[in-house]
């Protein structure tokens, strides 16, 4: 019987942070405190913070169909190296994940190759309601993803009648990419006539985001249906959503909390291009207000890799998206060290709240909870590099950035999968 004892760590528990031991057995947390049991493996965690396992609830691992950019094995490797114990993967693959059979295909692959826990979204179209309903009973299906505006891939659904039908006839979590397709089409000449990615946030402007978010919240209100709105980018959306927290949970990304326009486009060019776009400093400050005022519920990476060759195409032929699952934890720990938020608030958004939203027995250090933990050093200095990224794309927008705070151990189902920046190959964790 495998067991793991983490000794003398600084444990971030619900409502308090204490120095304690954590004992895990058979994939679950069994005891917290001064543990006197013996274990098959012991981690001396003096000086390390023990966090409930980090959940990245928005990634794009590109399998099937786009595996030259990423696949489930390489993506999960990036997750483990970044201190992420669970990922929830999006449906805009090739083909899109819009049927139960396509969903099950991805689950079967992940069972074979993933190094961390996983879940998958099924994508909504204007004609797959029965598939959405059936998918709700599939193990490892975490919910429905709706693209209100076109992004990477072909998934798009902005028919209000069809949306209402989905809201009324399903019960699982619904995650929303909120951009107004009509606004994007009306402003498409801005994109077509642009000479660089600095025009990207002008094309996909605040109106395109805010009008879409207002529409989908109005529909949620009309149907009394809870929704989760992904990667909010504007101060106006934060202000609007603050009045609808009874029905809407909100995600922001480290990219939008860290990078801003026009600086990022001048430095990174197309490598800063993503949907919805990185906006100006005032919007970034609005997002931080949403974090501190608890309008924001969740941090996700929106890990969406593309190859350098693809990113180097002249704008607007360059694809939108950037890697992020491996850098989310260090970027946010650096913000903690800079005083932008507390470690407890980070844990709430990156672990506790996503576990609650998606109904998982994770997100807390407590007896009976799943044995997923992320151990971090808050004092470790590190320079992020392209070369250390496990993503097939081989780059990060944060290359060269010096951070303070790094994941040191990734523990999945009571088994160590990453230690001191190295993946451990012995054995396969219990994936739940």
pLDDT in tens, 405-425: 999 999 999 999 999 999 997
164 contacts 194 by C-beta, under 8 angstroms? no
Residue 398 has pLDDT above 90, yes or no: yes
Domain containing residue 179: 53-357
Please state whether 420 falls in left (phi above 0), alpha (psi between -120 and 50) or beta: left
Instruction: Pick the closest to residue 295 from 245, 336, 254 (CA basis).
Output: 245
Mean pLDDT value of segment 156-169: 96
For residue 427, pLDDT over 60 is answered with no
pLDDT of residue 294 exceeding 70, the answer is yes
Out of 152-156, 302-306, 312-316, least confident range: 152-156
Structural contact between residues 207 and 180, judged by C-beta atoms closer than 8 angstroms:
yes
**336 in any annotated domain:** yes
User: What pLDDT does 389 receive?
Assistant: 98
- Note the pLDDT of residue 8: 98
Examine residue 430 and state whether it is found in any structural domain, yes or no: no
State how beta strands 373-383 and 402-412 pair: antiparallel
CA 97 – CA 403 distance, rounded (Å)? 36
Average pLDDT over every residue of 356-379: 98
For the annotated catalytic residues, the residue numbers are 302
In-domain check, residue 220: yes
Helix (H) or strand (E) holding 209: helix 206-223
Which pLDDT band, with edges at 50, 70 and 90, does 250 fall under?
very high
- Looking up tokens 């109005």 gives 218
Other CB atoms closer than 10 Å to residue 295's CB: what's the count? 24
Rounded mean pLDDT of 395-404?
A: 98
Q: Which secondary-structure segment (H or E) carries 298?
A: strand 298-299
Could you tell me if residue 15 is left (phi over 0), alpha (psi between -120 and 50 degrees) or otherwise beta?
Answer: left
3-class DSSP state for residue 243? coil
Percent of the chain with pLDDT over 70: 97
The rounded radius of gyration (Å) of the Cα atoms in the chain is 21
Residue 120, both tokens: 């998958």
The per-residue pLDDT for 150 is 79
The helix (H) or strand (E) run that includes residue 417 is strand 415-419
Instruction: Give residue 2's pLDDT band: very low, low, confident or very high (50, 70, 90).
Output: confident
Q: What is the CATH number of the domain that holds 98?
A: 3.20.20.140
Is 60 exceeded by the pLDDT of residue 88?
yes
Percent of the chain past pLDDT 90, that is, above it, reads 96
Token reading at 93: 């693959």
Which residue carries 């320079």 as its tokens?
383
Average of per-residue pLDDT values in the chain: 96
Position 426 pLDDT exceeds 70 = no
CA-CA distances (angstroms) from residue 112 to 197, 281, 412? 39, 43, 15
Whether pLDDT at 428 is above 80: no
Q: What is the pTM of this model?
A: 0.97
Buried b (16+ CB within 10 A) or exposed e, 390-405: bbbbebbbbbebebbb
339: left (phi over 0), alpha (psi -120 to 50) or beta: left
334, part of any domain? yes
Runs of H (alpha helix) within 363-411: none
Instruction: Tell me, yes or no, whether 135 lies in a domain.
Output: yes
Of 167, 175, 178, 170, residue with least CA distance to 223: 167
Average pLDDT score over residue span 287-304: 98
Query: Once rounded to an integer, what is the mean pLDDT over residues 357-378?
Result: 98
Report the domain count for the chain: 1
How far does the chain reach from its first CA to its final CA, in angstroms?
Answer: 18
Q: Give CA–CA dist 154/124, Å, rounded.
A: 11
The two tokens of residue 253 are: 């990304």
Flag whether 251 is in a domain.
yes
Helix, strand, coil shares of the chain, percent, nearest 5, are 30, 25, 40
Is residue 402 situated within a structural domain? Answer: no
* Residue with tokens 């350098």, as numbered in its chain: 308
Structure tokens at 31: 């005891």
φ, ψ of residue 149 to 5 degrees: the values are -130, 150
Q: What are the tens digits of pLDDT across the range 107-141?
A: 999 999 999 999 999 999 999 999 999 999 999 99
Confidence band (pLDDT; 50, 70, 90) for 182? very high
How would residue 375 be classed by pLDDT, with cut points 50, 70 and 90? very high
- Say if residue 157's pLDDT is above 90: yes
Task: Specify if 328 maps to a domain.
Answer: yes
CA angle 188, 191, 192 (to 5 degrees): 85
Whether the pLDDT of residue 351 is over 60: the answer is: yes
Three-state secondary-structure class, residue 22: strand
Mean pLDDT for 135-159 is 90
Predicted confidence at residue 418, as pLDDT, reads 97
| From 57-71, 139-153, 246-260, the region with the lowest mean pLDDT | 139-153
* Interacting residues of 218 by C-beta distance below 8 A, sequence separation 6+: none
Q: What is the pLDDT of residue 392?
A: 98
Mean pLDDT of 13-21: 96
CA–CA separation, 262 and 5 (whole Å): 48
224: left (phi over 0), alpha (psi -120 to 50) or beta: left
Residue for token pair 């990207």:
200
């Amino acid at each position: 019987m495998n067991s793991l004892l983490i000794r003398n760590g600084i444990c971030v528990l619900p409502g308090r942070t204490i120095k304690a031991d954590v004992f895990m057995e058979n994939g679950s947390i069994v005891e917290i405190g001064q543990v006197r049991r013996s274990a098959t493996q012991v981690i001396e965690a003096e000086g390390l913070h023990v966090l409930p396992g980090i959940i990245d609830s928005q990634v794009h691992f590109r399998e099937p169909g786009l595996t030259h950019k990423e696949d489930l094995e390489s993506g999960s490797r990036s997750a483990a190296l970044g201190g992420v114990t669970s990922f929830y993967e999006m449906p805009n693959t090739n083909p899109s994940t819009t049927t139960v059979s396509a969903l099950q295909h991805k689950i079967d692959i992940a069972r074979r190759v993933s190094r961390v826990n996983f879940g998958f979204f099924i994508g909504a179209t204007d004609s797959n309601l029965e598939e959405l309903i059936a998918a709700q009973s599939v193990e490892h299906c975490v919910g429905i993803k709706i693209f209100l505006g076109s992004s990477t891939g072909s998934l798009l659904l902005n028919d209000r009648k069809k949306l209402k039908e989905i809201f009324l006839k399903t019960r699982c979590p619904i995650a929303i990419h909120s951009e107004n397709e009509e606004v994007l089409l009306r402003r498409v000449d801005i994109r077509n006539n642009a000479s660089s990615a600095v025009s990207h946030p002008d094309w996909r402007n605040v109106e395109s985001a805010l009008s879409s978010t207002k529409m989908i919240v109005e529909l949620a209100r009309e149907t009394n249906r809870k929704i989760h709105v992904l990667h909010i980018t504007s101060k106006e959306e934060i202000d609007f959503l603050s009045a609808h927290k009874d029905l809407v949970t909100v995600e922001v990304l480290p990219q939008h909390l860290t990078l801003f326009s026009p600086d990022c486009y001048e430095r990174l060019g197309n490598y800063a291009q993503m949907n919805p776009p990185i906006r100006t400093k005032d919007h970034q400050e609005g997002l931080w207000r949403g974090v501190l005022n608890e309008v924001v519920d969740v941090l996700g990476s929106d890990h969406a890799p593309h190859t350098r060759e693809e990113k180097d195409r002249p704008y607007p032929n360059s694809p939108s998206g950037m890697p992020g699952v491996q850098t989310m934890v260090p970027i946010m720990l650096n913000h903690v060290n800079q005083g932008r938020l507390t470690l407890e608030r980070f844990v709430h958004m990156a672990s506790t709240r996503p576990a609650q939203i998606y109904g998982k027995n994770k997100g807390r250090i407590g007896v009976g909870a799943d044995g997923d933990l992320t151990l971090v050093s808050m004092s470790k200095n590190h320079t992020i590099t392209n070369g250390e990224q496990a993503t097939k794309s081989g780059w990060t927008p944060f290359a060269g950035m010096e951070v303070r705070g790094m994941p040191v151990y990734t523990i999945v189902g009571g088994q160590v999968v990453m230690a001191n920046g190295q993946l451990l190959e012995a054995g396969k964790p219990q994936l739940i």
